[in-house]
């Protein structure tokens, strides 16, 4: 079976789908995007497609090696995301051709269901509590929230109190049997996080996420040694080499993104590397259905997988939803905060191709928001 075509589709609200076709009529789907740079990744997928057309599908590892190493300049967000979408699609084809889910090809399932969490918004404690209450009623046992909005380089007392009050409101609703994760989103300086994290310890978050920017991984040790709260990071790290310093710095949760960190092939290796540091896997996934499907396939085959992010209903998705182009929506049915192991071949998700092609005619130009401080200087979103 050989690859005959590679197509890309700009799918609102901010996704880029990839389809690989073969001479035997089996097609595979993947999701390759850097949020806010979808057109750039689309161009990168087109360049990588030159390496795949006419090649046998089943040599997935060789394709990964060639795609990542045949260029003198390697990795980075755009490049790794393009590879990720193509890699997902290749695994999807292989699973479909053999009639088994991808997690079977990765060694078989180590669990029967995966715990998932959902996002909640809200700027005020009362708003946070209201949104979390709704998710608890829907059966979720874990939620994630932003620690803050724009934060001063050296936070004010009011900013710090605001973080604590919002997390306290979450804990009050969740009780002792449910969890809240707190995402700093790289918005806070290390100094701010070192002040805030100890104040959150009595509220016992599941983890604090991205307490420093990815380019400042050399500072992670200052955070992990300043708090007993598990520290999570990794959505903006793209390979094992970039994860290694974070693991050595003492993080507790690794969060590679299946559409950014080289796809199923590389995230599976990142998971194994993390396991040697007794670090848990919680893949980043505020994207579309193919990223979620790929994340679950890795999760069901990874012993150290702990929880899965998913973005159904997330506030980023305006005018479109995760399941809009999915025919077998039951595979993403959440019961009591868990999703059951998918049994369908490949990624286990059936894409409505006609719907995707219609969406591509509309396309999107989603851009990452960015902020400024009162003095006019740039502030992290």
The structure tokens listed for 21 are: 């076709």
β-partners of residue 56 are 2
11 backbone dihedrals φ, ψ, rounded to 5°: -115, 120
Contacts of 358 (CB under 8 A, 6+ apart): none
Q: Are 232 and 208 in contact (CB under 8 A)?
A: yes
β-partners of residue 231 are 208
Give the active site residues. Answer: 185, 284
pLDDT, tens digit, 9 for 90 and up, residues 230-289 = 999 999 999 999 999 999 999 999 999 999 999 999 999 999 999 999 999 999 999 999
Q: Are 15 and 287 in contact (CB under 8 A)?
A: yes
pLDDT of residue 313: 77
* Cα 208 to Cα 146, 166, 234, distances in angstroms: 10, 14, 12
pLDDT, tens digit, 9 for 90 and up, residues 186-219 = 999 999 999 999 999 999 999 999 999 999 999 9
Contacts of 156 (CB under 8 A, 6+ apart): none
pLDDT, tens digit, 9 for 90 and up, residues 80-126 = 999 999 999 999 999 999 999 999 999 999 999 999 999 998 888 99
pLDDT, tens digit, 9 for 90 and up, residues 307-360 = 999 988 776 677 788 999 999 999 999 999 999 999 999 999 999 999 999 999
pLDDT, tens digit, 9 for 90 and up, residues 151-191 = 999 999 999 999 999 999 999 999 999 999 999 999 999 99
pLDDT of residue 318: 72
331 backbone dihedrals φ, ψ, rounded to 5°: -70, -20
pLDDT, tens digit, 9 for 90 and up, residues 27-66 = 999 999 999 999 999 999 999 999 999 999 999 999 999 9
pLDDT of residue 315: 67
pLDDT of residue 316: 67
Domains of the chain, start order: 2-100 (3.30.390.10), 104-346 (3.20.20.120)
pLDDT of residue 319: 75
Whether the bond into 13 is cis, omega within 30 of 0: yes
DSSP per position, 300-362: HH-TTB--EE--TT-TT--S--TTTTBS-GGGG-EETTEEEPP-SSBTS--B-HHHHHHHHHH
């Amino acid at each position: 079976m050989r690859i005959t075509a590679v197509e890309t589709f700009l799918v609102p609200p901010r996704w880029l789908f990839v389809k690989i076709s073969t001479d035997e009529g089996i097609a595979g789907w993947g999701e390759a995007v850097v949020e806010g740079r979808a057109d750039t990744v689309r161009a990168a997928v087109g360049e990588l497609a030159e390496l795949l057309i006419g090649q046998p599908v089943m040599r997935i590892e060789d394709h990964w090696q060639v795609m990542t190493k045949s260029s003198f300049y390697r990795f980075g967000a755009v490049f790794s995301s393009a590879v990720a979408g193509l890699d997902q699609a290749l695994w999807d084809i292989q699973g479909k051709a053999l009639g088994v889910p991808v997690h079977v090809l990765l060694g078989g399932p180590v669990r029967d269901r995966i715990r998932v969490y959902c996002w909640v918004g809200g700027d005020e404690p009362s708003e946070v509590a209201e949104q979390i209450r709704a998710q608890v009623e829907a059966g979720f046992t874990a939620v994630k929230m932003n620690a803050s909005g724009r934060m001063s380089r050296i936070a004010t007392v009011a900013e710090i109190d605001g973080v604590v009050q919002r997390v306290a409101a979450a804990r009050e609703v969740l009780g002792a049997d449910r969890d809240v994760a707190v995402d700093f989103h790289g918005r806070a300086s290390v100094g701010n996080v070192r002040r805030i994290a100890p104040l959150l310890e009595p509220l016992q978050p599941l983890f604090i996420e991205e307490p420093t920017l990815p380019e400042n991984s050399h500072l992670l040790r200052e955070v992990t040694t300043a708090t007993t709260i598990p520290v999570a990071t990794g959505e903006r790290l793209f390979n094992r080499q970039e994860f290694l310093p974070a693991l050595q710095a003492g993080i507790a949760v690794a969060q590679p993104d299946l559409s950014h960190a080289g796809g199923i092939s590389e995230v599976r290796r990142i998971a194994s590397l993390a396991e040697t540091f007794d670090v848990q896997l919680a893949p980043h996934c505020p994207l579309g259905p193919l990223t979620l499907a790929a994340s679950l396939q890795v999760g069901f085959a990874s012993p150290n997988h702990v929880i899965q992010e998913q973005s159904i209903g997330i506030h980023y998705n305006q005018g479109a939803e995760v399941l809009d182009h999915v025919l077998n929506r039951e595979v993403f049915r959440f019961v009591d905060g868990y999703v059951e192991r998918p049994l369908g071949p490949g990624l286990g998700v059936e894409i409505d191709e006609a719907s995707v092609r219609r969406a591509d005619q509309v396309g999107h130009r989603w851009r990452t928001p960015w902020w400024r401080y009162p003095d006019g200087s740039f502030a992290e979103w």
